[in-house]
Chain A
Amino acid sequence: MTVITHARRASRLAKLIDTPGGVSIGTALAQAKSNLEALQPRSLEEVAKAVAELGAIQPPATPEDGDAALTTAYHAASRVIDAVGPFGLEDIRLAALGLCELIDATSADKPFDWRVLPVYAQSLQLLLSLPAEQTDARAKVRASLGEMVDRKLAQTG
């Protein structure tokens, strides 16, 4: 196979980064952290919206509808992960990630088990409503979702 190599020109970014001025890495990270903290209150609202969207998805009447509904569910779960952002809420992120995994493992001969979706929506809702200090209860929700994902993934291979 023919390989054409284009010698790398230094990008403008490469030139800019070393020009006089700017900020120290420590300052840049502190500023970024502060900016992100300002977004934290919106995080839970965005998660709640995405979870509500998940809960509203109905099992499809036809296989064609199924693809669209799965895509919607996948995007909603992705938005949960997005919204959790760098604000902790690791159990919520992992729960949403599990749903992404299940949807991703779906194929024509290994269809998605639509009973899973309301379980996810309710569990995520529960995680949202449980106080952070109720670590045992949160861990139980996460563990049961994790077991379900493992079981389903073992079935789909």
Chain B
Amino acid sequence: MTPGMESLRESAVINLTGAVTMVVDDSPFGLDITASALLGFGIKTRYACHSAAEAIDILKEQSIDLLVVDTEMPEMDGYQLVRWLRRSGLDPNAFAPVIMTATHMRRSRVAEARDCGANFVITKPFSAASLLERIVWVSRDTRPFLEVGDYFGPDRRFRRGNPPGEERRADVLRKAQFEAEKAAAAAESGE
């Protein structure tokens, strides 16, 4: 079980009331959905931004504890915003936990999603439980930050356990399916 999953016991108590949070989404309704879910967790969205430019102006001046940003936005998109943030030299904002939300992941942007420096990308629509699970997970994320070539962000290798949520990695799913078929075949042949 991942640290995030473990923390989502119904009786576990979390205190996110003081978390200075920024949500960036060009869709007003999308932003309202995210902010409403966060409010349920006790997080009052301090900065609600409809563009990356608006977010940058604030990030230069104010410290934040959590950034939730949509991937697809006109002009400067979420990936560019996160890449800028990580390379901004702003302390502590450059190291702030970042969760990206995506309605659809373009094939051409998969590498960008991996390389922009976000802690996590989740796909919409997300349930309140999955969003909270990821917030708890990024809050407990102890991965060091790495500077490797053009990349600056959390170590992209998960050394302990797995990322939170349902397994979606194609190679892991294929392996699991192969193992299950092998076990079924063995059971059928009475081995």
Task: Please report A residues at the B interface, Cβ cutoff 8 Å.
Answer: 1-9, 11-14, 16-26, 28-36, 38-39, 42-43, 46, 74-75, 77-79, 81-87, 93, 97, 100-101, 104-105
Contacts and interface: CB of A to CB of B under 8 A. Distances in A.
B104 A100 contact: yes
Interface residues of B, number: 62
Contacts of B12: 24-25
Contacts of A33: 40, 128
A86 B125 contact: yes
B76 interface: no
Nearest to A45: B29
Contacts of B66: 13
B146 A3 contact: yes
B29 A8 contact: no
B132 A32 contact: yes
Query: 8 smallest A-B Cβ distances: which pairs?
Result: A32-B40, A22-B15, A32-B128, A31-B40, A26-B10, A100-B104, A4-B147, A35-B36
A5 B19 CA distance: 26
Nearest to A11: B97
B18 interface: yes
B140 interface: yes
B41 A28 contact: yes
A140 B11 CA distance: 43
B30 interface: yes
B143 A29 contact: no
Given A32-B36, A83-B29, A24 B148 contact: no
A82 B124 contact: yes
A120 B30 CA distance: 22
B132 A78 contact: no
B136 A81 contact: no
6 contacts: A17-B14, A22-B14, A28-B41, A31-B39, A32-B39, A33-B40
B95 interface: yes
Given A12-B92, A23-B42, A81 B103 contact: yes
Given A24-B10, A32-B132, A46-B29, A8 B145 contact: yes
B106 interface: yes
Given A11-B95, A78-B72, A101-B104, A23 B14 contact: yes
A30 B39 CA distance: 11
B128 A86 contact: yes
B161 interface: no
Contacts of A28: 14, 40-42, 128, 132
A104 B40 contact: no
Contacts of B147: 2-6
Given A11-B95, A13-B139, A78-B103, A85 B125 contact: yes
